[in-house]
Amino acid sequence: MFKLLKTEGRARRGEFSCAHGGLVQTPVFMNVGTQAAIKGGVDAFDLREVRCQIELSNTYHLHLRPGDELVRQMGGLHKFMNWDGPILTDSGGFQVFSLAPLRRIKEEGVYFSSHIDGRKIFMGPEESMRIQSNLGSDVAMAFDECVENPAPYEYAKASCERTLRWLERCKREHDRLNALPGTVNPGQLLFGINQGATFEDLRVWHMDEIAKLDCDGYAIGGLAVGEPTRVMYDIIDAVEPHMPRDRPRYLMGVGTPSNIIEGVARGVDFFDCVMPSRNGRHGKLFTWEGTVNILNAKYAMDDRPISESCGCPVCRRFSRAYLRHLFKAEETLALRLAVLHNLYFYNELTARIREALDQGRFEDFRAAYSEKLAERV
């Protein structure tokens, strides 16, 4: 399932396998298609062209619309969206966290109101596992509570303890569902999630406890929610030594190109973030020379591609001037092209990180690009 090929410091080069697709090369950036599509008009065939290895969709959103039972009847999420590669589904915990005014957290689970039509919904560990089983994803994420930042210590401690109990329930239900006849994907894996807000002692305790449950992989959740970047790195530094060496490590919802490089340096294998698609839809483009704001007037007559060092479909075909025009004219094609470019860049970033690890020069790569990629062109 996961094979660690080599290390450089704490940085790890590995391979991951699951029920769909071939070997996933790690470190890997997962392309976020929350509702079984990348925002900006990008489909599964586009994902192949921009070298996506793993697609990520969301349990909460797909449960509400079109409904996980419908997806099951359609043969599962892979068939529904015509994607034959690996899919990871987030448990819905973060989305429930973001609905703070609409939710009540109890030991049994969370009661909340749909953001679409206001109807009352309950989701607990068992419900999250059943929804993800219906979707047939390759990796299901455990149902957890993502606490706000900053959080009082006592609340964060109680939340950690509850998330541990929820993981135990997730694992029992996940094992039961995988063994049922007619399960969409009986080879579905389960990743546990480390929580503990920004308290290092809670993070370490929680990681030690969930590691005992022998999940297929482990994630660090509840970061990139407003805490300073240095604090995020300190939490990873504290937790990483307690994560099983032979299981994939996933840093949830992170982040910038620099965050990914620094996460790899701290022993992380999997990343996801909406940043490439969200920033792209606002004309913010990532390149090896730094970030480009394509709306800037200086690009009005610039016939160069977004980046002359980029091999993406957009840079091979269109100019900065044309892309700026599309944004200014409010053409939807602008969003599609910008998102395609940014996704290609993020996938290429992790490909170059892997190449640097293979060649034993990751620290040189880190020194060259960790700060540079945050600069503006």
CA torsion, points 187, 58, 199, 172, in degrees to nearest 10? -40
Catalytic-role residue among 46, 68, 144, 272: 272
Diameter of the chain by CA atoms? 61
Q: What is the DSSP string of 104-151?
A: EE-SS-EEEE-TTT--EEEE-HHHHHHHHHHHT-SEEEPP-----SS-
- Length, in residues, of the chain: 377
Assess whether 272 carries a catalytic annotation: yes
Instruction: Give exposure, 72-94, as e/b (b: 16+ Cβ within 10 Å).
Output: beeebbbebbebebbbbbbbbbb
Catalytic-role residue among 46, 90, 138, 269: 90
Residue with tokens 């290429």: 348
Among 344, 286, 307, CA closest to 48 = 344
How far apart are the C-alpha atoms of 31 and 48, rounded to whole Å? 11
Q: How many CA atoms lie within 13 A of 35 on its CB side?
A: 8
Instruction: Give exposure, 208-220, as e/b (b: 16+ Cβ within 10 Å).
Output: ebbbeeebbbbbb
Count helices and strands (H / E) in the chain.
15, 16
Among 143, 130, 136, 125, CA closest to 86 = 136
Assess whether 90 carries a catalytic annotation: yes
Catalytic residue ranges:
90, 272
